[in-house]
Structures are given as structure tokens and as C-alpha cells.
A and B are shown apart, each in its own frame.
Chain A
């Protein structure tokens, strides 16, 4: 970025309040972003990141009910003087979920949709489509159907669709939050390409800083509608106390710098270099890293389980054998389409057993689990909420399953207390935040006192604070209870490392790796499984040449320093 670069966008005294909202979602925003900059915007959920991004292309205030004060300029021109179509052509906005923003059946039509809306001549549309597809690495998928692409490929097509408008400024609202590791890698690779080839200004809102921070020129931290910090490359470490204060995710190298008191020279590579040369004793994992293995009798036992959907060429599951023991959390991992959800559905008794055996709670020969013993939290917890109040929602399961009054009362009270739902008792579930709705959905399951909880990627899109609280609640529920277990389907290696006891990785319907989470996810033996995104702490451990994988940065440091 040159020093003479002009402002791509400037907010001056911007305040915005949604209609009927009790307070401003944006408060006195004064910010300028130079052309060609790559800006990472972070902050806790509800801090105003998405609202700020919507002002970039005029969705706020033009398409949203609310009141905006202050002034926004785009490439030196007041945004309110720019016609909507032109504004959208100059500044593109990419949303979280690729499935909700792809409107056409095929990739080429999808990418052409924007310039067609601008009424551009055919030749120009064709060249824009060509360039956007090439830049995002989607040219080979030009004639593919959007519905058949993976999550990462879909998000790349969505990115190409925004680029084809000719946008000089790209705003991306958590574009990787719904993607697996492979998807995240694809989209980041495309963003790097876009940045270097087209010199487009990028503003990206994200909770997970680890992968994106190295690409950023600036880190902006928001909280409650205000900008709390603005940090330039080379000074990111200064953001650490603020990120910690707000409960935001911090990359492990930052944690290590803070823990060791190393200088603020940031970057994972630099930190690892320093650690390697420092006089630190390596005790190779004699830390609190390892959890006990489940020694209880299995609550679920699967032998040679296979399942094929009608019309499918290959089985969704092929000769799977595994166990879920009492008192443990089993992380179920693998690429999208590897069979994780099919296995969860079979555990839940929602699919008919075709081949192999599945024992629920030591009972052989049953075709479904005993009623009320399995709880299933689906990927979108909103689809589980059906009552007028949180209290009714939580009590529904116990009522439908006709639990005896004493057991129902105790289970409901436990669910409400564990998930801190007492204060929300009379609220409508749909009026709550995403994190609260997730807690209500989990509370509604715990309140009928199931033995095994099946969770299908429940933390996707949550910020670190919410994710950790949710997983801690789960651990509290299961830890030390031999009659309870959790099966957690996730793409989040950090979550699996931090909270799971065992890990099962599926690859095209088969078991690719299985065993204690710390061992499987350390990649010892056959290398790191390609299905999972290497966690930042695991990556640092590998850079340091450690033969074990720490669950957290603190565990890593403890392991390095030793505690003789």
C-alpha cells in the first residue's frame, strides 16, 4: 500500500440505531480505511461489526429500518449521493452463510448475476465473470451446479459474485465461520489472490484471528457499537490486553508472548524462533495435557456399521466400529460429507440400521434407542425452538416424555441452573441472541434428563467466549458421570483438543483415525490427519519440534518450561 493512497472509505461521527432498538448499534464511529488496506475487524458477538459492514455498501440505512447520523464517504464521495446500484458496484458485501447468498443454479450464472443487474453490456459481463472466476480459483467450476459445491467452494463463488460487480472495496462478514478447515483454506487463498492481483481494499469481520491476522495490515477491535482499538501491523501485540478483556479469541503466539514476557515483536514464526533459542527446558508433555481415558462401560457400541442412502453410489458409512464410554466427550471429525451426521442420526435412531450392529446402553438387538435417553442438538438450534417462552421450551421434553414429576422437576431445574436460564424464563426464545438460543436448546435437552447428548456442530459461528462457555457447560454436565456421555460433531480442532477425551475422524464413510483426542490430533505416527485443520497450538508445537500436542497455549508453555 503506498503512502499516497486515498481513503477507500471514511466514517465520520456515524451513529446508527435500528428501529425500535433501545440503544445505538453504532456509536460515534470515526474511522478511515486507505485504499488497498486489509483490515481485520473483531469484537464480541453483538459489538456492531455486521452493522458497520452493512454501512459500507449502503444496506444501512437504505435497506434497513433505522436512523443513521454522521457521514460516510466512499472513495472521496459522500455515500448518500451515490445511487444504490453504483454504490453496490463499488463496495461488495459477502455474508456468513454461502447457502443463503447463492441465488442461481450454476456458477457462471451466479457470478454474472451482479453485472447483469448493473445492466452492463454482454462483453463486459463476460470479461468480469472470467476475471472473477480466475481470481478466486473457481474457473474450473464454471459450469458446475452451485448446489453440488463444497462449503468452501460455494463461499469462493459468492466472493467471485461480489468481485464481478467490479468492487474496489470488499466487506466480508465472517466468511469462514460456517466452513470446515479445507473451506477456510480455500477462501483465505482466494482472498490473498484478490488482494495481490486486484489491489482491492478488504475489510473482514472475524472472531477467529489466528489464520487472518497474518494477512492483515490493521486490526480494529469493536465493543458495544464503538471502536475500542485500532492497531497497525507490527503493533498487534498491543491489542492483546483489550482482546482478553473483551473475551475475544487471541492467537496462541500472542498468549505465549504475554506468558513469557517476550517483546511485542509479533508473528508466530518470530515467537517460535525466540522460544527455540530461549533457555527453556522441554519436558515433552509432562503437563496437565492428557486427560484420563474413559474406563466405564460403553453407553453406545457400534460394530461394522454401514449405511447407504437410496440412489447413492457410495456408502455414507462403511464398516464403522466405535464406542462411546460413560463420562467422556467423543469428538466426531471429518470433512463435510464424510459421514458424521449419518453416524449421529444412526446413534439417535433417526435412520434405520442397514448393516452392522448398534447397542444402546448395553442392549443388543434393539432397532431404536429407549425413548428419552438420547438428546440431539442440531446444527441450527433455532429449529428446535417451538414454544412461547423459555420456561415452556425447557419443560416441553419432560412433559412429552411423561417423566415422573420429581425427576422432571429436578432435570428442569438442573438444566435451567447449569445454563443460567432462570433470568430468561419468561422471554420468547426467538427474541434472544444466537448464544442464548443455543443455551435454551441445550437446556431443553438436558431438562428431560438424557444419557447421551449428540451435538451436530453446535458452536459454528459463535465467538470464542460463547464457544468456550458452551463447551464448559457440556463438560460440567458429563464430567465424572459414568451414566452420561457426549458425542460432539465438530470442525473445530481447538474445541476437540480442549474439551474432548476421544476423537474419531471419518474419511469418506470410513474411520480414518480414532483414539484419545490429544494423540489423534497431535498427528503423531501417521502425520496430521488431513481432515482436520491443524490447531494453532499444535502448529506451534510442531514448529518447536515437540512430539505432543498441547490443548492450550498455557499447556504448551507449561510443557515447554517443565514443572519439576
Chain B
């Protein structure tokens, strides 16, 4: 559910869109785990400051938890760079059939570390994005995209997704209940039952989502929504001085990090070096 009545709801939607963009820029540019962690923590604080409901809070932490877990596990197994330290042998190379087929599968410490760093990038952008989606009315989001000359079909898609995500979650819950009533068991060996249950509920939930998507699209078209046309807005967009100051600071910080990274990469790649930038190189290597 969208909650535009909190403090964050009063912020100019262009401010929120720009903040998502700058957070994305920082998340992509930064490599240092401490700095990335700071940005990710900031993102999570933004999400918490948007006064989410209990269900939204659960959604936030479920999505973030799954993201971190999935990236760490996948990187632990598929990490290809050297050096790498085996911390767990999942399938020994000498295991009959599967061992020879796969050449052995192990989990690597460096992979886990790499996955954790990557997941911080996702946590930062997801948290800020969710906070914006929860506190912005879709029509305001569309207005901000129009004002920023961005394709507002993107905003419509994102807003509709945010609007109907809880409905889809509820439908998944009902589908699961329906199957449980018919004898489906979730617990079982190796989580295979849970996997089977997920597949069983995926089909009806997907079918319901497709049907709804069609209705939503027709309802929007019936109300003259056309992604190719310019829209107007009942409530004028208005950005306050504090918002402007924060935006300027965030923009300058994102631009500084990006520029510093470019200079550092040019220096590290032996393309360009200037002695006056030595402090910047050091700062970039140590902090960014």
C-alpha cells in the first residue's frame, strides 16, 4: 500500500527520482565495502524513515535478505577469480558420476565476500526505490517523470507494480492455502516439496497477474492514459530549499565519486597520470 501521508510523502517526487538516480550512481561507482555499506545503510534508513507498515517492513527485509543471500551463495559457488580459498566442498571431484561431470563444486571465501559487496549495491538502490514507491502516489510519479522529460511509461509500469505487488503476494498466499487444503506438504527432504509447492502456485498466480495486467492496462487506457502524450498535474510540483540543498549535495557527491573513479581507472590502466592528482588517487583507492 502506498502511504503518501508521511513526511516522505510530502517530498517532491522529482527529488525522490533524482535521489534514486544518485544512489544508483554511487552504488555502481563505489567498490570499498565500508563506503558501499554506508550508502546501503543510508538507503535502508531512508526506507525506514518512510514509515512503512508492518507488512511493508516484512517485504523490505524479505527482499533484502533474499537478495543478499542469493548473491552471496551464487558468488560463493561460481566465483572464478584467483586467488580463491575453498571453505566448503559441496561436490568432491571424486564423487561418482556427478563429480566427474562437474569437476567438483566448492564454496569460496572470496566469492562470499564478493557476493556481499555486490549485494550492498542492490540493497542501497532497492531500499531507496521501495521508499520512493511507498511514499509517492503513482500520478505524482508520472508528473515527475513528465517534468524530468523521462518516458512516463516507465513510471507507470513501476507505479502499477508497486500498487499491485501486495495483491499478488496475497494471491500467492491464497494459492498456497488452496493447495495446502488439498494435501500439499511444504516440508520434506532437501526442500524439494517447497520447490514443488512454489511451482504449483506459480501457474495460478501468474495467470491471475496476466489477467489483472490486461484489466489495469484497459482501465488506464479508458481514462485517456497514453504514454506518448504529455500530461498535466492537479497539484503543482514544488521543491523546497532543503530538498534542493540535499539534492545538490548528493549530486555533487555522486559526480565527484564518478569522476574520481574515472581518473583512478585511467591512472591504474596507465592511460593518464598527473602528479597533482596523487591525493585523489590515494583517496579513491582507500575510500572509494
A104-B137, A400-B183 given; A117·B178 CB < 8 A: no
- Interface check A426, CB cutoff 8 A: no
* A314 within 8 A of partner (CB): no
Contact (A382, B204) CB under 8 Å given A112-B234, A350-B177: yes
A383 and B171 contact, CB distance less than 8 A: yes
Do residues B137 and A109 form an inter-chain contact, with CB atoms below 8 A? Answer: yes
Q: Indicate which residue in A95, A119, A310, A382 contacts B231 across the interface (CB closer than 8 Å).
A: A119
The answer to whether B234 and A126 touch across the interface, beta carbons within 8 angstroms, is: yes
* Whole-angstrom distance between the Cβ of B124 and the nearest chain A Cβ: 25
A348-390 CB contact bits vs B (8 Å, 1 = yes)? Answer: 1010000000000000000000011011101010111110000
Provide the residues of chain B in CB contact with A400, threshold 8 Å: 179, 182-185
Asked if B222 and A386 sit within 8 Å, CB to CB, the answer is no
Q: Which of A56-104 contact B (CB under 8 A)?
A: 57, 59, 63, 84-85, 88-89, 92-93, 95, 97, 99-101, 103-104
Instruction: Indicate the member of A348, A350, A383 with the most B CB atoms within 10 Å.
Output: A383
A336 to B160, CA, bound (A): 25
Is B238 an interface position by the 8 A CB rule? no
Interface size on A, residues (CB 8 A): 66
Q: How far is the CA of A126 from the CA of B2 in the complex (A)?
A: 23
Q: CB-CB < 8 A to A119: which residues of B?
A: 229-232
Q: Which residue of A lies closest to B164 (CB)?
A: A100
Contact A444 B215 (CB under 8 A): no
Is the C-beta of B20 less than 8 angstroms from some C-beta in chain A?
no
**Chain B: CB-nearest residue to A100:** B215
Q: A114-B224, A161-B223 are in contact. Are A121 and B216 (CB under 8 A)?
A: no
Most interface-central of A105, A114, A115, A430 (chain B CB within 10 A): A105
Q: How far is the CA of A63 from the CA of B225 in the complex (A)?
A: 12
Interface pick from B59-67, B82-90, B138-146: B138-146
Which of A95, A105, A109, A402 sits near B218, CB closer than 8 Å?
A95
B188 proximal to A (CB < 8 A): no
A101 B234 Cβ-Cβ under 8 A: no
Query: What 0/1 readout, one digit per residue, does chain B (73-98) give for beta carbons within 8 Å of chain A?
Result: 00000000000000000000000000
Nearest-neighbor residue (CB-CB) of A402 within chain B: B183
Q: Does A165 contact B (CB under 8 A)?
A: yes
Q: Is A224 interfacial (CB-CB < 8 Å)?
A: no
Of chain A, the residue at the smallest CB distance from B203 is: A386
Would A117 and B182 count as touching, CB distance under 8 A?
A: no
- Residue from B138, B203, B219, B220 with most neighbouring chain A CB atoms (10 Å): B219
Which listed residue (A84, A95, A110, A402) contacts B215, Cβ 8 A? A95
Chain A residues near B163 (CB, 8 Å)?
Answer: 103, 105
Residues 2-18 of B contacting A (Cβ, < 8 Å): 2-5
Give B5's nearest chain A residue, CB to CB. Answer: A145
Name the contact of A117 in the complex, choosing from B138, B212, B224, B236 (C-beta under 8 A).
B224
Q: Which residues of B contact A374 (CB under 8 A)?
A: 181
Nearest-Cβ distance from residue B177 to partner chain A, whole angstroms: 5
Residues of chain A with a CB closer than 8 A to B174's CB: 378, 380, 383
A396 to chain B: which residues have CB within 8 Å?
A: 182
Q: Report yes or no: A162 in contact with B182, Cβ–Cβ below 8 A.
A: no
- Provide the residues of chain B in CB contact with A448, threshold 8 Å: 182-183
Contact of A311 with B234 at beta-carbon distance under 8 Å, contacts A103-B159, A104-B139 already known: no
Contact B215 A108 (CB under 8 A): no
A118 within 8 A of B: yes
Is B175 in contact with A386, judged by CB distance below 8 angstroms?
yes
* Distance between A562 CB and nearest chain B CB, rounded to angstroms: 47
B32 beta carbon closer than 8 Å to chain A: no
- Quick one: CB contact mask for B201-227 with A, threshold 8 Å, 1 for yes? 101110110011001111111111110
Is A113 close to B, CB under 8 A? yes
B159: chain A residues within 8 A (beta carbon): 103
Q: Which of B179, B216, B223 contacts A100 (CB 8 A)?
A: B216
Interface presence of B54 (CB below 8 A)? yes
Task: Verify if B187 is at the interface (C-beta below 8 Å from A).
Answer: no
Q: Is A147 an interface residue (CB 8 A)?
A: yes
**In the assembled complex, which residues on chain A have CB atoms less than 8 Å from the CB atom of B266?**
none
- Contact of B262 with A by CB under 8 A: no
Q: A371-B183, A383-B208 are in contact. Are A165 and B177 (CB under 8 A)?
A: no
Min C-beta distance of A450 to chain B, whole Å: 9
**Of A63, A89, A165, A348, the contact of B221 (CB 8 Å cutoff):** A63
Indicate whether B167 reaches chain A with its CB closer than 8 angstroms. Answer: yes
Question: Which A residues touch B181, using CB under 8 A?
Answer: 348, 350, 374-376
The reply on A296 being an interface residue by CB < 8 A is no
B1 sits at the interface (CB 8 A): yes
Considering the complex, give the chain A residue whose CB is closest to the CB of B181: A376
Q: Given A145-B1, A386-B179, do A85 and B226 touch, yes or no (CB 8 Å)?
A: yes
Q: Is the CB of B182 within 8 A of A106?
A: no
Considering the complex, give the chain A residue whose CB is closest to the CB of B204: A383
Check A280 for interface membership: any CB of B closer than 8 A. no
Q: A103-B160, A383-B178, A383-B205 are in contact. Are A117 and B215 (CB under 8 A)?
A: no
17 extra interface residue pairs, beta carbon distance < 8 Å, beyond A119-B232, A384-B204, A386-B201: A63-B218, A84-B221, A88-B222, A88-B224, A105-B2, A112-B234, A114-B223, A118-B232, A125-B232, A348-B181, A375-B181, A380-B171, A383-B204, A386-B175, A397-B182, A400-B184, A430-B207
11 contacts between A and B (CB under 8 A): A95-B218, A103-B160, A114-B224, A119-B229, A122-B232, A122-B236, A145-B2, A145-B5, A378-B174, A401-B183, A445-B182
| The 3 nearest A-B residue pairs measured at CB | A400-B183, A101-B219, A401-B183
Spell out B's residues near A (CB within 8 Å).
Answer: 1-5, 54, 137-140, 142-143, 159-160, 163, 167, 171, 174-175, 177-185, 200-201, 203-205, 207-208, 211-212, 215-226, 229-234, 236
